[in-house]
Amino acid sequence: MSDHLKLWYAQPSSDPDTKGDTGWNRAMPVGNGRLGGMVFGDMPVERIQLNEESIWAGPPVPVHQPGAKEALQQAREEIFAGNVEEAESLIRKNVLSPHTGPRSYQPFGDLWIESIDCDPNGKVGEYRRELNLDTAIASVTYVQEGVRHCREIFTSAVDQVMVVHWSADEPGSIHTSVRMTRELDADTSVRNHDTLILEGQAAHGSTHQGVKFTGLLRAVADGGTLLQEGNELTVRGADGLTLYLAVRTDYHFINPKEPLQRDLAAWCEMDLEAALRKGYLQLKSDHIEEHRRLFRRVDLQLESNDPDASANETLPTDQRLAALQQGGKDAGLTSLYFQYGRYLLISSSRPGNMPANLQGIWNPLMEAPWDSDYHLNINLQMNYWLCQVTNLSECHLPYFDLLEGLVEPGKKTAAEVYGCQGFVAHYTTDAWLFTAPLGNISYGMWPMGAGWCVRDFMEYYRFTGDMRFLAERAYPIMKEAALFFLDWLVRHPETGLWVSGPSTSPENMYISPKGNKIGLCMAPAMDQQIIREVFANVIEAAAVLKIEDDCIAELTEVMNELAMPGIGPDGRLMEWCEDVEEAEPGHRHISHLYGLYPGSQYTFESTPDVMEAAQKTLNYRLSHGGGHTGWSRAWIINFWSRLKNGEEAYNNLQNLFKHSTLPNLFDNHPPFQIDGNFGAAAGIAEMLLQSHNDIIELLPALPSEWQAGLVRGLKARGGFEVDIIWKDGVLQECRIRSQLGNKCIVSYSGQRIEFDTSAGGSYDPF
């Protein structure tokens, strides 16, 4: 695990040849789950843009609207009567809260390291900047005036500090100034000639006062002089320089309305003192060891059948991407991209922290796109699709913490807005854990956010077998979501089946009989699929936990009478319960295929007709311009993988690289949005291993381009870890390690083998 796990570049991020690009989309991300940085590698002024996960502008947040319950009931009646326009008017006026933003996730600031006392026009040679995924260290090396310089930057999850270490191969060669800035709402100062302080409060002008934050940066010079000059530190004639940055906030996740009452500067000082006692080399060693504990669980190496592909592997990463975008082949770049997704998740979602938001933890803007919030109508969920299968179960825990934080506000919303028991959440939330419905009908009137999210609690159990987690965390929250749906569902007046609504198919619209674009409906396909899945998961969990009560009996009865989406006259799966004209045939959301992925309601074994309809649905969407955002293309990769069509999965992965990938391999919505990185990494894993139907399927969607390769350490449901080696498109070796001692069923190329296992045992089934 060395050179094939590095992103590297031959020029700074803000190189003049980048045609006005600010460089952020070329910078390299580092993070410890909480504290992140974008390393530019610029000359002569290095910029490291800084984030801390909890720096959010504050309330007010959306609130419940009076009269919502009555309006919802009346809207149902109007829809059943065919008056969808009247129903939308009712919901718009009486149910949906107006937006109360911007209320954005914001940057901490910027760290600037500016070379001084050197010729500004002096030649810089042998420049290289790289991000080593195996060590989670970004580095910048160059030769200036005959001296080789190297800067290493990492953010330690062990010691909760960012570290910048600058060395040179000639004594006394480091001359620099160091400063921290923030665009708005912060003050800077210097303490004891060696410490920079930046402190402030997230806000939007005079409104939305939010999280308070403090950062301390300590400079330690090896030789030379270290002085204060205004609000900067100046170093001259040093042999080496190490900067230690600690950032803390008053955000209180347990109760965001009550900020932590703690001296933030003293807290930062404790972090710094502990780091200084260790020293740079021990900090670095501990950081690498902790990162590798997670990262090295999985190895992926892909080989192309194109003899010219290997030539691209020696190019800088941006040139490799450009070559692929121009039609070249580069299986090694796919392997790198897959591991980059795992790296980004490790770096933005660790136990005890907040989950990765729309930008992970990396955001340079005071008003981020979509506030960088937690979108619950696919984006947050997609961030975690790779968690279990790529052996990063611990990284899933912040996601569960957030969802559990929504339960109490979600119960209040369920009672006050809907008159229902249980808990509900809608298309979005943020650090303030609100659950009220808000915004426009096409995305706001969608009470399925909690239902979609709680599926992942069951998935965590299926992969890990953690009975305590199932009993204490998964079952209670899934049941709360199910209780809401039991009260929310109504009988369709014509069919007598249980239907959801008024609701929408996320962000999509259809043409009403009056010729208007409409989002509101009854029984959209995704609603019905999500509700069925929630009920099935609660029933399954209850069986494992040996729970039998009236609730389980009721769930079973209602589940069996749920209206489920049909197949339309053209052979496609229907997105709405009626055959209507789509307003946007190439819409980015393909919500009615939820039951295919991430759900598992549809398989070739159980529903071959729906699988055929799903394929037609995908082809139709793509032929009308679908997949035009990064995350949407990532979802499509997973769809084709579940359909076991490796060629189409591969083609869509290539299109993701061509149209939705930035030079630093960040996903491009546009703009940057990290869910595409995570979703595509999950899709690559899904091409190589599937286990959603209780069978471990090896290489189910292997494309012809990946003629040879190996993957080690992928996880399968049931508590199995899987290694696969193939050559000439054919399985050569398979090793399955059983962690729980469950029975194992393995399938490959029409062969199916079933055998008993013991916990800790290793098996070669073929």
Q: Is residue 180 part of a domain?
A: yes
**pLDDT tens figures, 668-720:** 999 999 999 999 999 999 999 999 999 999 999 999 999 999 999 999 999 99
What is the per-residue pLDDT for 120? 64
Q: Is residue 730 part of a domain?
A: no
**Which domain, by its residues, includes 18?**
7-57+106-300
**pLDDT tens figures, 95-114:** 999 999 999 999 999 999 99
Radius of gyration (Cα) for the chain, nearest Å?
A: 27
Specify the CATH number for the domain of residue 167.
2.70.98.50
The encoded tokens of residue 406 equal 């929504």
Gap between the Cα atoms of 589 and 627, Å rounded: 9
Q: Span 212-220, mean pLDDT? A: 98
Q: Is residue 641 part of a domain?
A: no
Q: Is residue 600 part of a domain?
A: no
Mean of pLDDT over the chain: 96
Model confidence, pTM: 0.98
What is the per-residue pLDDT for 15? 72
- Whether residue 736 contacts residue 762, with contact meaning beta carbons closer than 8 Å, is answered with yes
**pLDDT tens figures, 557-604:** 999 999 999 999 999 999 999 999 999 999 999 999 999 999 999 999
Gap between the Cα atoms of 329 and 318, Å rounded: 14
Per the listing, tokens 């700074």 go with: 12
Q: Is residue 677 part of a domain?
A: no
Q: Are residues 92 and 21 in the same domain?
A: no
**pLDDT tens figures, 153-168:** 999 999 999 999 999 9
* Of 356, 355, 379, the residue nearest 589 (C-alpha): 379
**pLDDT tens figures, 2-42:** 578 999 999 999 976 555 567 999 999 999 999 999 999 99
Higher pLDDT, 310 or 372: 372
Percentage of the chain lying above the pLDDT 70 cut? 98
What is the per-residue pLDDT for 21? 65
Is the pLDDT reported for residue 1 higher than 50?
Answer: no
Specify the CATH number for the domain of residue 561.
1.50.10.10
Q: Are residues 71 and 194 in the same domain?
A: no
Q: Are residues 209 and 72 in the same domain?
A: no
Percentage of the chain lying above the pLDDT 90 cut? 95
**pLDDT tens figures, 266-319:** 999 999 999 999 999 999 999 999 999 999 999 999 998 777 667 788 899 999
What is the per-residue pLDDT for 312? 81
What is the per-residue pLDDT for 2? 56
The residue out of 537, 561, 588 marking a domain boundary is: 588
What is the per-residue pLDDT for 311? 76
**pLDDT tens figures, 127-151:** 999 999 999 999 999 999 899 999 9
Q: Are residues 231 and 135 in the same domain?
A: yes
Gap between the Cα atoms of 110 and 85, Å rounded: 49
What is the per-residue pLDDT for 593? 98
Q: Is residue 423 part of a domain?
A: yes
Q: Could you give the number of structural domains in the chain?
A: 2
Q: Span 431-458, mean pLDDT? A: 98
Q: Span 728-739, mean pLDDT? A: 97
Can you spell out the DSSP letters for 274-342?
Answer: HHHHH-HHHHHHHHHHHHHHHHTT-EEEEEES-TTHHHHTTS-HHHHHHHHHTT---HHHHHHHHHHHH
Q: Are residues 51 and 67 in the same domain?
A: no
**pLDDT tens figures, 459-506:** 999 999 999 999 999 999 999 999 999 999 999 999 999 999 999 999
Q: Is residue 319 part of a domain?
A: no
500 to each of 491, 492, 536, 761, how far by Cα in Å? Answer: 9, 9, 16, 46
Q: Is residue 436 part of a domain?
A: yes
